[in-house]
């Protein structure tokens, strides 16, 4: 039985809330620097896990997320919700939306300054449907408390393991 993760490389997100520092969820979700393009989580042959995401008989365990804001104002008030879609345009949901998860300020600067991090539980067992693509899942993020409403995604890893 195998385990691994699919992940995204560094990318600037689309708008994750409508105004800077907004403290309540407003229904705006950001993908890959646009409103109709999710962040692609995929098998990487050059970094991270090089094992393909199984199409069935697999548990999606959790998601690691590291985002870079442009300031550390409100260091304890950065919250995110996430959902996952089978398709890049974000019309075919496959996971979430999660509850709001509180992020912690990274203790060092290995990802750069003003970075916040969280791990979000998924614990689900999807079987890839016709509208899904092998090794491809798309991530969408809504946030509150950010000083920059288009933060940089420094890391997103979806961990999985086979269940048979």
Partner 1 sequence: MASGFIEADVSSTVTLDDMGGAGGSAMANFWGIITLTTHKTVGTKMDFPTAGVRWSHIEIILDVGASAFTSVTAEVRVFFSWDSAGNDICAGPSAATLLVPGQGDGTRAMTTIKLDIVPSLPPDGAANTVYCWISGWGIGTDTPELKRARLHWHDLG
Q: Which two tokens stand for residue 75?
A: 């260091």
Q: Please, are residues 146 and 17 in contact by the beta-carbon 8 Å criterion?
A: yes
Q: Which region among 65-73, 81-89, 112-120, 149-157 touches partner 1 (by CB under 8 A)?
A: 81-89
Smallest distance, Å, CB 42 to partner 1? 18
- Judged by DSSP in three states, 35 sits in coil
User: How far is the C-alpha of 113 from the C-alpha of 39, rounded, in Å?
Assistant: 22
Smaller CB distance to partner 1: residue 115 or 153? 153
User: How far is the C-alpha of 87 from the C-alpha of 133, rounded, in Å?
Assistant: 8
> Does the footprint of partner 1 cover residue 94 (CB under 8 A)?
yes
User: How far is the C-alpha of 130 from the C-alpha of 13, rounded, in Å?
Assistant: 27
User: How far is the C-alpha of 91 from the C-alpha of 84, rounded, in Å?
Assistant: 10
> Does the footprint of partner 1 cover residue 32 (CB under 8 A)?
no
> Does the footprint of partner 1 cover residue 2 (CB under 8 A)?
no
Smaller CB distance to partner 1: residue 75 or 96? 96
Q: Which region among 4-12, 84-92, 108-116, 149-157 touches partner 1 (by CB under 8 A)?
A: 84-92
Q: Is 6 left (phi over 0), alpha (psi -120 to 50) or beta?
A: beta
Where in 100-129 is the site for partner 1 (CB under 8 A)? 123-127, 129
Binding site for partner 1 (CB under 8 A): 25-27, 29, 31, 35-36, 38, 56-58, 81, 83, 85, 87, 89-97, 123-127, 129-130, 140, 163-164
């Amino acid at each position: 039985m195998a385990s691994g993760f699919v992940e995204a490389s560094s990318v600037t997100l689309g708008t994750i809330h409508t105004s800077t520092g907004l403290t309540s969820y407003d229904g705006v979700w950001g993908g890959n620097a646009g409103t109709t393009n999710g962040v692609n989580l995929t098998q990487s042959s050059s970094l991270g896990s090089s094992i393909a995401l199984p199409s069935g008989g697999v548990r999606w365990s959790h998601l690691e997320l590291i985002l870079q804001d442009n300031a550390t104002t409100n260091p304890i008030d950065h919250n995110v919700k996430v959902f996952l879609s089978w398709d890049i345009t974000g019309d075919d949901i496959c996971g979430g939306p999660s509850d709001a998860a509180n992020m912690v300020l990274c203790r060092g600067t290995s990802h750069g300054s003003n970075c916040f991090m969280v791990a979000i539980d998924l614990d689900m067992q999807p079987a890839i449907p016709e509208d899904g693509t092998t090794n491809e899942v798309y991530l969408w993020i809504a946030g509150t408390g950010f000083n920059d409403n288009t933060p940089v995604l420094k890391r997103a890893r979806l961990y999985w393991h086979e269940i048979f």
